[in-house]
Structures are given as structure tokens and as C-alpha cells.
Amino acid sequence: MTRPLACAAIATMILCLDTTSLAAQATTAQAGAAAQPRPAQRPRAGIRVMALTSSAFADGAMMPARHAQIGRDVSPPLAWSGAPDSTQSFVLLVHDADAAIGDGTDDLLHWMVWNIPGTASSLSEGMPQGAQATNGMRQLSVSGPYYRGPAAPATGPAHHYIFELYALDNTPNVAALGLAVPATRSAVMVAIAGHVRGKGVLVGRYQRPAP
């Protein structure tokens, strides 16, 4: 073999050995990376199920006329338990699940109370009207800053009024006045997204008596 050919053959062998060595090193590095434990991820805390009740009616039962529009819109007494220790405030949402409005994806808001103190465990019957209470609570309904009782028609089935209580790790800074009711409701729900730590649900039914 001539000298140039021999040199070329030796260079080719060295290049092959270098390539093989690099490939082996890459494989070893990948195996080592795979063997290393991944950093532990802190599990996301679940949303606690709370108990929400009323002394005025049982869950799923008919609501008394006193707490309907014909009873002059007296808000029912509510009590709850099981809130997480991290609770800073509560939001109460009351809506008629059978009264679709707009494009059909929304429903009628009968009451929304937010900035309820995190130390609270109840709302007394007959909450006074007004956009904001002295303790910072704010409220709104489809017709104003107060509780709006049910008024499902006498014809057809009774409507379902959903009381939803959210325990939050924050306090939403949303004004009760200044926007349309649907916009305020949406703003509150956006403000609590990612901050719900507990939830309780109570369902009341109602329809006006036949004439």
C-alpha cells in the first residue's frame, strides 16, 4: 500500500473511533440523566367539600313563600361548616338553574354576596339591602343590591335555586356597582378562579302557588 493510501486509511479509522466514542458518551449521559430522580412537585391541594344548610328548608325541598318574591324577598338563613383553615373570604352565589338567559349558557342571578369574612360560618335571615355592608361584604342580584327571591311560574315544573358557597384564599376586589349585573358577576368569578379552596352547595325548589 502506498504511503498516501495508508495515511487515508488510518485517518478513516481514527474518525470512526472518535464517532463511536462520542456516540457512547452521549448514550451514557442520557442514561445517567434518566436515572437521576426528578425534582419533587408539590401536589395541588384539593377543593374541600363543605356543608351548606338552611334552617328554612332542607336540601332539595321547596322553599317557603317567606323567602320568595311574594314574601317580600327575605333572604333565608344559611350556615356552613368544613371551611379550610386557609380561608380568607367567602362568596355566595344563588342562581336559578332553570331560567336560562342570553344565549342560553347563562342563568338568572338571584343573589351574589362576596367578601364575606373568612371567620364567618353563617348569614342571618333577612340581610339588609345595600351594595356594601359595614364589614366589607358586597351584594348584588339581577334587580339590585339585595336578595331577589324565587318566582317561578305556577305552570310547569318547579325551578331549582342553587346556593353555592365558595371558600377562598383571597378577597376579590370587585365593586358592587358601576357595571352591568352580568359583567359584575363575571368579574367576581374571574377574580376567584384559582383561589377556591372549599365549596358547599344547597338546592331549593320553588314555584308560585296556582291562582
Q: What is the pLDDT of residues 9-34, one digit of tens each?
A: 434 443 343 444 444 444 444 444 44
Ranges of each domain in the chain = 1-38, 48-206
Categorize the per-residue pLDDT at 102 as very low, low, confident or very high, splitting at 50, 70 and 90.
confident
DSSP percent split of the chain into helix, strand, coil, nearest 5: 25, 30, 45
Q: What is the pLDDT of residues 125-179, one digit of tens each?
A: 999 999 999 999 999 999 999 999 999 999 999 999 999 999 999 999 999 999 9
> Quick check: 69 and 148 in contact, CB under 8 A?
yes
Overall CATH class of domain 48-206? alpha beta
User: Which pTM value belongs to this model?
Assistant: 0.78
